[in-house]
């Protein structure tokens, strides 16, 4: 009986590996697609790390102040990070 359990577990592990590979593939492909699309439109792509946007004090304040749901508030904070990065890069260029 233990042998069949291990067999099913091994199949399950194999399925997880396939899903993990698929998710990595789609994420990287979507990122590449987004960068290429912004370059075709003549815009500058800005990559921002979204880590820490959901569980922060700022997230709760944005949700309360603007009346946004959790996901929209996270998108708002990620956009603000991108704008801050853009502003800091532009001001550093002109400080020479």
pLDDT in tens, 28-85: 788 888 899 999 999 888 888 888 888 889 999 999 999 999 999 999 999 999 999 8
Place 20 in a pLDDT band, splitting at 50, 70 and 90.
low
The DSSP 8-state label assigned to residue 41 in this structure reads T
Query: How many angstroms separate the Cα of 22 from the Cα of each of 13, 27, 72, 86, 88?
Result: 14, 9, 26, 32, 36
Per-domain boundaries in the chain: 1-43, 46-96
Structure tokens at 32: 């590449």
CB distance 31 to 49 below 8 Å = no
| CA pair distance 14, 20, nearest whole angstrom | 10
Give this prediction's pTM.
Answer: 0.60
């Amino acid at each position: 009986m233990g042998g069949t359990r291990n067999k099913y577990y091994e199949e399950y592990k194999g399925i997880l590996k396939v899903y993990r590979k698929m998710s990595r593939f789609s994420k990287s492909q979507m990122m590449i697609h987004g960068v290429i699309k912004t370059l075709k439109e003549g815009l500058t792509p800005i990559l921002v790390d979204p880590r820490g946007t959901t569980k922060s004090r700022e997230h709760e304040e944005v949700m309360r102040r603007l009346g946004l749901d959790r996901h929209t508030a996270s998108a708002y904070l990620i956009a603000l990070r991108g704008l801050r990065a853009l502003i800091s890069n532009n001001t550093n260029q002109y400080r020479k």
